[in-house]
Structure 1
Amino acid sequence: MRAAERRLRAGELALRIAVLGLGLTAAALVGSDSQVRRIFSLEKRARFTDMKVLVFVVVANGVAAGYSLLQALRCVVGAMRGYVVLNKVLAWIIFSCDQVMAYVLLSAMAAAAQASVLGQFGQPELQWIKTCELYKKFCKQVGEGLGSAFVGSMAMIMVTCISAFNLFRLYGSKNSNGGW
């Protein structure tokens, strides 16, 4: 196996482990977040389930972490056995699943970013208050979770680049004269 191939495999494994760790961190931070605020005689509790987009972030990052674990195990087994994905069907499945995970994580981040801006700054024209002024601890922990989710989604996008490379190099012809 060439050195470049080993570096590519190591990079893919490192990115998949990063997605696993960051996804679990994001899901744990957002999913365990709650804060109780006493307003006059009422107790109001802020939970991540109050915003459906945060539920989506937790689920998406949990699924991405599980998927990354499976793919990391596949990478480790492949490295131990010394094989490269030579099957085009398997390469297409991996590429497609990586794409789906990247787009799901990216859409969760986009939706959560919009909800976060509304929570932080409100929307006075619609009489939406700045909820982060009331629940500072809650918003801080959600922000930390979303930061982790953002870095994880960027790592997943880099994984898709590697899986695209692994797929499309199978279509390169070593014997053709008109190749790249």
Structure 2
Amino acid sequence: MSYLGVGVSPGNVPVYHGTFLKVVDRRIRVVELILRCVICGLGVLAAVLVGTDSQVKEIFTIRKTARFTDMKALVFLVIANGIAATYSLLQGVRCVVGMFKGSLLFNKPLAWAIFSGDQVMAYLTVAAVAAAAQSAAFAKMGQPELQWMKLCDMYGKFCNQVGEGIASALLVSLSMVVLSCISAFSLFRLYGGIKSKNGGR
């Protein structure tokens, strides 16, 4: 049975085809392109905010400079967001080319490659944000039991800019998680379509 371009597979899983499939696919492509542009822009912003951040402080005539390289978690954050931005730029170009060429459906190898890449990027960006946020919490609140000072009391400007970078990186990671769901939908939809054809024989 089918209606409004929607078929029902033997497992009662809706499978879209025809004109309705094209409309759904175009909307997914537009959302994907927007998210990849957002990730590219915010990824670059996060990397620049954290990577260019520094503050000089004089302590008893001794000049100390706080840089992002002093915390390995921030180095990881900069690298992860740089990779995510580059990856999203390349995938965004693919989306634009696909729209102009009018190709609506993925083939399986390409769908698997996109799905795998998006999954890796999602895990990478989430891990980077989690590590940076933990280090930022220690810098902000200190750890008296381990005699760790509240470094943000000394380097306020540095911490504020790092906080802005982490906020941008958080949006990148959330967008990557949404993208990984979209790529999973695009991948498994192909298999759903095959099941529907086999079930109709």
Task: Name the TM tier (shorter chain).
Answer: over 0.9
Task: Give the corresponding residue for 2:199.
Answer: 177
Which residue of 63, 68, 80 maps to 2:88? 68
Q: Does 2:193 align with 1:165? A: no
5 Å-filtered alignment, 1:100-139, equals: 100-139=120-159
Q: Does 2:37 align with 1:17? A: yes
SS in 2 for 1:8: helix
Cα displacement (A) at 1:6: 1.4
CA distance in 1, matches of 2:105, 2:70: 44
Instruction: List structure 1 runs of 4+ shifted beyond 4 angstroms.
Output: none
Cα displacement (A) at 1:177: 3.3
Cα displacement (A) at 1:176: 3.5
Residues 30 and 58, structure 1, Cα contact 8 Å, conserved in 2? yes
TM-score, normalised via structure 1 length: 0.96
CA distance in 1, matches of 2:25, 2:105: 12
CA distance in 2, matches of 1:49, 1:85: 44
Cα displacement (A) at 1:68: 0.2
| Paired AA for residue 102 in structure 1 | A
| Paired AA for residue 82 in structure 1 | G
| Paired AA for residue 58 in structure 2 | R
TM-score, normalised via structure 2 length: 0.86
Q: Does 2:176 align with 1:156? A: yes
Task: Give the corresponding residue for 2:60.
Answer: 40
After superposition, the CA RMSD in angstroms is 1.1
Name stretches of at least 5 consecutive residues in structure 1 with no aligned partner.
none
CA distance in 1, matches of 2:39, 2:90: 12
Cα displacement (A) at 1:86: 2.9
CA distance in 2, matches of 1:9, 1:88: 17
Name stretches of at least 5 consecutive residues in structure 2 with no aligned partner.
1-18
Larger gyration radius, structure 1 or structure 2? 2
CA distance in 2, matches of 1:175, 1:46: 62
CA distance in 2, matches of 1:84, 1:93: 17
